[in-house]
A and B are shown apart, each in its own frame.
Chain A
């Protein structure tokens, strides 16, 4: 069955190769992704915003995003805002170290004791912000409990959207093209569930799903609903039902 994208919090770390705090930003993001809030967080390589295409750039428009920067140049926060959307929260490792009275790391490669302590402190703060963002949306982050056997499960790759992508499609509303995130997945799901475009409830159901993933102004809703219903009717006609 087609899966609708799940609401998660996006983490963008600067990963700065040239400064120890950049390595800490990366380590902290991975701690949250793999251990503290797996399943509730997702990431994207920062340079993909420039090298990538529309689905990469849709990242922060789709996910409320936390930028984790190593230094005051704030590359992660600036790039996220420049290429996608303003981050919901922004942390700077060096600022956090100062405010918590933690020592600055000295190593670029791997982690020294100071780097590890700082990465854990940053990760805890990021996890707290993740919980806050999901709570606003009425969702709860899955907090990973330590395995009683003491065996750590290893995730080969972090949850990365350059693999999963965020599908998007456009509809024309009043002569203007409007891009809607998750629309292909929503259409596929509705088709599979046999929701006919001729059923009057289908248009309302479509809009309900679309509004989960896209901001829709109240004054635009009727026109958008009509355009989406027309598009879905075309999709329905062109896509054979399972078993046909």
Chain B
């Protein structure tokens, strides 16, 4: 697959909230397990600081953001880079659908957190497929 067809997945870097860790884990499930050949990630901090290469990548490729809290740093910072995300996911929306899943902590999201991340990752992967299909 050419680099042209890649989708960028950017989680929020949230270090203060357990949902931030779930979002990060979900991003890695997509980029390493579910869609390793057609997705990639970019350091959000680098993008935040205006790094040209990071900006070029989110402008060139459809970008999906994953946020752990209402401040929505991932979405906001992608928008600040001059592009609208192709999709914006929130960990909280998964929690609303699965209130039985209680995340353990920031540093160890536990089994429930892993499950929440897998559910979110499947949603993100489906969106990746949709974006790639739409491009053809």
List A residues at the B interface (Cβ < 8 Å).
13-19, 22, 26-27, 29-31, 34, 43-52, 73, 75-76, 78-79, 82, 108-109, 154-163
* A-B pairs with beta carbons under 8 Å apart, 20 shown: A15-B13, A16-B43, A16-B45, A17-B42, A17-B44, A29-B15, A30-B107, A34-B106, A47-B45, A50-B77, A73-B46, A75-B45, A75-B49, A76-B45, A108-B32, A156-B105, A157-B16, A157-B18, A158-B107, A159-B16
Give the docked Cα–Cα distance between A75 and B17 (Å): 20
Number of B interface residues at 8 Å Cβ cutoff, please give it.
38
Closest A residue to B33 by CB, please name it.
A109
B16: contacting residue among A17, A79, A160, CB under 8 A = A160
Question: Does the CB pair B104–A46 fall under 8 Å?
Answer: no
Give the docked Cα–Cα distance between A13 and B80 (Å): 21
Residues on the A chain within 8 Å of B11, using CB:
17
Question: Does the CB pair B27–A46 fall under 8 Å?
Answer: no
Give the docked Cα–Cα distance between A82 and B49 (Å): 9
In the assembled complex, the CB of A5 is this many whole angstroms from the nearest CB of chain B, namely 16
Closest 8 CB pairs of A and B: A160-B16, A75-B45, A47-B73, A109-B28, A51-B76, A16-B43, A15-B13, A30-B107
Known A-B contacts A156-B104, A159-B16; the reply to A75 vs B43 at CB < 8 A is yes
Contact indicator per residue, chain B 11-52, by CB within 8 Å of chain A (1) or not (0): 111111110100011011000100000000111111011010
Residues on the A chain within 8 Å of B104, using CB:
154, 156
Question: Does the CB pair A16–B46 fall under 8 Å?
Answer: yes
Closest B residue to A50 by CB, please name it.
B48
* Sample of 6 further A-B pairs with CB below 8 A, known A45-B16, A48-B71, A161-B16: A31-B107, A46-B13, A47-B12, A48-B73, A75-B43, A79-B49
Question: Does the CB pair B15–A158 fall under 8 Å?
Answer: yes
List B residues at the A interface (Cβ < 8 Å).
10-18, 20, 24-25, 27-28, 32, 41-46, 48-49, 51, 69, 71-74, 76-77, 80, 103-108
Give the docked Cα–Cα distance between A19 and B51 (Å): 15
Closest A residue to B70 by CB, please name it.
A162
Question: Does the CB pair A17–B105 fall under 8 Å?
Answer: no
Residues on the B chain within 8 Å of A108, using CB:
28, 32
Known A-B contacts A22-B43, A50-B76, A76-B45; the reply to A44 vs B16 at CB < 8 A is yes
In the assembled complex, the CB of A87 is this many whole angstroms from the nearest CB of chain B, namely 14
In the assembled complex, the CB of A213 is this many whole angstroms from the nearest CB of chain B, namely 21
Question: Does the CB pair A46–B28 fall under 8 Å?
Answer: no
In the assembled complex, the CB of B1 is this many whole angstroms from the nearest CB of chain A, namely 19
Residues on the A chain within 8 Å of B103, using CB:
156
Give the docked Cα–Cα distance between A52 and B72 (Å): 10
Question: Does the CB pair A14–B73 fall under 8 Å?
Answer: no
Residues on the A chain within 8 Å of B48, using CB:
46-47, 49-50, 75, 79
Question: Does the CB pair B24–A43 fall under 8 Å?
Answer: no
B17: contacting residue among A16, A19, A50, A157, CB under 8 A = A157
Question: Does the CB pair B12–A45 fall under 8 Å?
Answer: yes
